[in-house]
Amino acid sequence: MEEIRLNKYLSEQGICSRREADRLIEAGKVTIDGRKAQTGEKVTGHEKIFCDGKPVGRASGGKKAKPVLLVVNKPRGIVCTTSDKDRAPNVIELVHYPSRVYPVGRLDKDSEGLLLLTNQGELANEIMHAGNLHEKEYLVTVDQPFNSAFLKKMREGVELKELGVMTRPCRVESVGPKTFRIVLTQGLNRQIRRMCEELGYHVVTLKRVRIMNILLGKLNTGDYRRATPKEMEELERALEQARELREGQDEETTE
């Protein structure tokens, strides 16, 4: 019987992304046949697996939830994690969706705007995959007027000394004396805030308005909607193209 990694199994069961699964395993919130699971462990799916006290897969009767993708306008002050470290309200409590969903990636507590929630682990993994170069668009206001030199540096890449990395080139355009639009294809921790700080600016407001083909639009702060069939079709097509490109690159490196 084929074994797969526990984090992938939890992802395929619609519990969470692989990344979040690893965090839950490390926190001791996943058990296999009554014992705490270990990071990197493999399963067949015939075990009695519980996550956060709730049965998964066979232990739950084998029922699989219908696919869900929610488009949420996250307010400032709301966190994307359900860990006990931050006592602030989290987005799952905000949405209060009747079935289990979880965030696709993160949006800082002090940031607002578009956040996706899903119960499809593999979909979340594909959207978050750094190698896919998926676009995320933001509107940012800083504490002082900027000039063309600032925009040029942001476009070309900024060295984030704290993280020891140079950001990827990106699209940046001015929309006001202190406000700019930026399109990223990577998601480093607090990336835009760090980029601005390196150049002597402080972010006042940061709002995500697009993830790939999904737009925030006129969705009110704190509200959510289900992704439309057209959005899902376009999203799946883009993810499939990214998979094919990645597989083609992998074949080239092995030749």
110 is catalytic: no
The HSE-up count of residue 46 (CA atoms within 13 Å, CB side) is 4
Q: Which residue has the tokens 């925030």?
A: 216
Per annotation, catalytic residue among 108, 110, 223, 250: 108
For 158, list phi and psi in degrees, rounded to 5.
-120, 135
Given a contact cutoff of 8 angstroms between Cβ atoms, the answer to whether 37 and 187 are in contact is: no
Identify the H or E element spanning 55.
Answer: strand 54-56
Given a contact cutoff of 8 angstroms between Cβ atoms, the answer to whether 147 and 130 are in contact is: no
Spell out the residues 6+ positions from residue 221 whose beta carbon is closer than 8 angstroms to its own.
73, 75, 112
Given a contact cutoff of 8 angstroms between Cβ atoms, the answer to whether 190 and 171 are in contact is: no
For 231, list phi and psi in degrees, rounded to 5.
-60, -40
Q: Which of 254, 5, 26 is nearest to 122 (CA)?
A: 5
Given a contact cutoff of 8 angstroms between Cβ atoms, the answer to whether 88 and 79 are in contact is: yes
C-alpha–C-alpha distance, residues 43 and 80, integer Å:
28
Strands (E), 90-164: 102-103, 112-118, 136-142, 159-160
Name beta bridge partners: 138: 182, 208
The catalytic residues are 108
